[in-house]
Chain A
Amino acid sequence: AQSVTQLDSQVPVFEEAPVELRCNYSSSVSVYLFWYVQYPNQGLQLLLKYLSGSTLVKGINGFEAEFNKSQTSFHLRKPSVHISDTAEYFCAVGSYGGSQGNLIFGKGTKLSVKP
Chain B
Amino acid sequence: EAGVAQSPRYKIIEKRQSVAFWCNPISGHATLYWYQQILGQGPKLLIQFQNNGVVDDSQLPKDRFSAERLKGVDSTLKIQPAKLEDSAVYLCASSLPKAYGYTFGSGTRLTVV
Contacts and interface: CB of A to CB of B under 8 A. Distances in A.
A49 B100 contact: yes
8 contacts: A43-B93, A46-B102, A46-B103, A90-B42, A101-B48, A101-B95, A101-B102, A102-B45
Given A99-B48, A99-B56, A102-B56, A43 B91 contact: yes
A19 to B, nearest CB: 20
Interface residues of B, number: 25
Q: Lowest 3 CB-CB distances: which A-B pairs, in order?
A: A105-B42, A43-B104, A101-B48
Interface of B: 4, 31, 33, 40-45, 48, 55-56, 91, 93, 95, 98, 100-107, 109
Given A42-B107, A101-B48, 19 more contacts: A34-B101, A43-B4, A43-B105, A43-B106, A44-B93, A44-B104, A46-B101, A51-B100, A90-B42, A90-B43, A92-B42, A99-B48, A100-B98, A101-B33, A101-B55, A101-B95, A102-B45, A103-B43, A106-B42
Nearest to B92: A43
A35 to B, nearest CB: 10
Interface residues of A, number: 25
B101 to A, nearest CB: 5
Interface of A: 4, 32, 34, 36, 41-46, 49, 51, 90, 92, 94, 99-108
A91 to B, nearest CB: 8
Contacts of B55: 99, 101
